[in-house]
Amino acid sequence: MIKNLQTPYFVIREELLSQNVEAFRNALNLFWPNSILSYSVKTNALPWILKWMRAHDISAEVVSDEEYQLALLSSYSPTQIVLNGPIKGEICFREAISGGSVVNIDSAKELKYLERYGLLQTERIGIRVNVDPSIFQNEDVGYQEDGFRFGFSEENGELKKVISIIQKASTDGNFGLHIHVNSITRSVDVYRQIAKYAAKIIRKYQLELSYIDIGGGFFGGVPEKTTPEEYLSVIREELKNEIDPAITCLIIEPGSALIGSAVELHASILDVKDTVHARIVTTDASRIYIDPLWLKKNYLFSSNAKKPSIPRQVICGYTCMDHDRIMVIEDYPEFSIGDDISFQRVGNYTVTFGGPFIRPYPPVYVESNGELTLVRKAMTIKDYYRMETV
């Protein structure tokens, strides 16, 4: 906890952020130097982070017109942006294509955009592939019953049709493939299977790709988890017989692997009460801030609590939702009102997720060389009220 700052507040540890970035950069330099490291903006779209990524020569991966505009406002040029997702607007699509962004096609609507503008240069256009979930272990990805939502299916022939359309529109037949899946376990085997699946498609259709985009979803900055080198090693091993890494660019889109472990939330204990069932500890944090999916049961944390340990404490958030229970702590010093509690590795889908529900956005600081810099002031109710246009 940092003294004299009003909780709750986020802190970005710049040193950790740099370490995470360098781990991926070094792995790419070792296994696939002809590559693009692209930051997944949706993971944490704080403008400071985007400007930092831009200053460190990391591209921006965006999935909406709004994120595309945010990247431009954060000093990115169109050539430094990868545009993904199923909701691309026509104006943004045209701007991205004409500006030289990497654009991965996800829908029939986008094919119509291509036809409308008569685009012939397809080296920076890619086709997102709808991966067959049966190639994975169910515990790794799920979705076995309904499959994945995105891209064109190879199994029903849609991918073949789209490949034919893109090849006919191209002057030299070169284009990219985008193959990304959401993963539960983030295991290295998930990426081995993705790369094998991509190799099968490349071989079947005799493709000469300008790039292959493997997406994100990696571990990063977490001890004893899969390392960037381990991921990149298996990707190269599975693809090297079908494409030449010196010719075909590899794009990866880490988000949580870069920013997740570099952010912490500092909070305070507001209230402690006993019910007939439990010791309830209320904080000025919330799962809204640190767990948008409301799935985690435990967090890495620290506190200045100094009383003797007690068997069980239920740590809760500030909201009026009874399920805003952050975690249960067992055999830990008893919390008192005013104690500090900090949650580590909470940079994923947190700082910019949601809105001013019950309490507005908290401030964000960056810690660098022992100094704190405010990079987002706390949103006030007046700030929120001024958004009204009537």
pLDDT at 110: 93
Domain boundary residue, one of 254, 288, 319 = 254
Judge whether 39 and 61 are in contact, CB under 8 Å.
yes
**Assigned domain for 24 exists:** no
137 and 186 co-located in one domain: yes
**Assigned domain for 17 exists:** no
130 and 188 co-located in one domain: yes
278 and 209 co-located in one domain: no
pLDDT at 292: 80
Q: What is the pLDDT of residues 134-193, one digit of tens each?
A: 999 989 998 888 999 999 999 999 999 999 988 887 767 789 999 999 899 999 999 999
Instruction: Return d(Cα 337, Cα 345) in angstroms, integer.
Output: 24
| Percent of the chain whose predicted confidence (pLDDT) is above 70 | 98
244 and 268 co-located in one domain: no
**Assigned domain for 288 exists:** yes
Asked whether residue 1 carries a pLDDT value surpassing 60, the answer given is no
217 and 313 co-located in one domain: no
Determine the structural domain holding residue 223 and report its residue range. Answer: 32-254
165 and 270 co-located in one domain: no
**Assigned domain for 10 exists:** no
CA distances for 235 relative to 257, 332, 379, angstroms = 17, 43, 43
202 and 273 co-located in one domain: no
- Backbone φ and ψ for 304, nearest 5 degrees, come out as -100, 15
Asked whether residue 254 carries a pLDDT value surpassing 70, the answer given is yes
Instruction: Return d(Cα 217, Cα 259) in angstroms, integer.
Output: 12
Domain boundary residue, one of 224, 254, 284 = 254
Asked whether residue 115 carries a pLDDT value surpassing 60, the answer given is yes
Q: How many domains does the chain have?
A: 2
**CATH number of the domain encompassing residue 338:** 2.40.37.10
Residues 6+ away with beta carbon under 8 Å from 150: 86, 106, 128, 130, 180
Over the chain, what is the mean pLDDT?
Answer: 94
If we measure between CA atoms, which residue out of 214, 226, 210 comes closest to residue 252? 214
Confidence of residue 123 (pLDDT cuts 50, 70, 90): confident
Which residues face 341 on adjacent strands?
Answer: 267, 303
224 and 276 co-located in one domain: no
328, two tokens: 């249960």
Domain boundary residue, one of 239, 254, 269 = 254
Exposure string (b/e) for 60-79, b if CB count within 10 Å is 16 or more? bbbbbbebbebbbebebebe
**Assigned domain for 354 exists:** yes
Q: Say if residue 390 is exposed, middle or buried (CB neighbours under 10 Å; 0-12, 13-18, 19+).
A: exposed
**CATH number of the domain encompassing residue 93:** 3.20.20.10
Asked whether residue 122 carries a pLDDT value surpassing 80, the answer given is no
195 and 272 co-located in one domain: no
Instruction: Return d(Cα 67, Cα 255) in angstroms, integer.
Output: 14
CA dihedral 17, 19, 23, 29 (to 10 degrees): 100
375 and 297 co-located in one domain: yes
pLDDT at 387: 87
57 and 164 co-located in one domain: yes
**Assigned domain for 16 exists:** no
Cβ atoms < 10 Å from Cβ of 256: 23
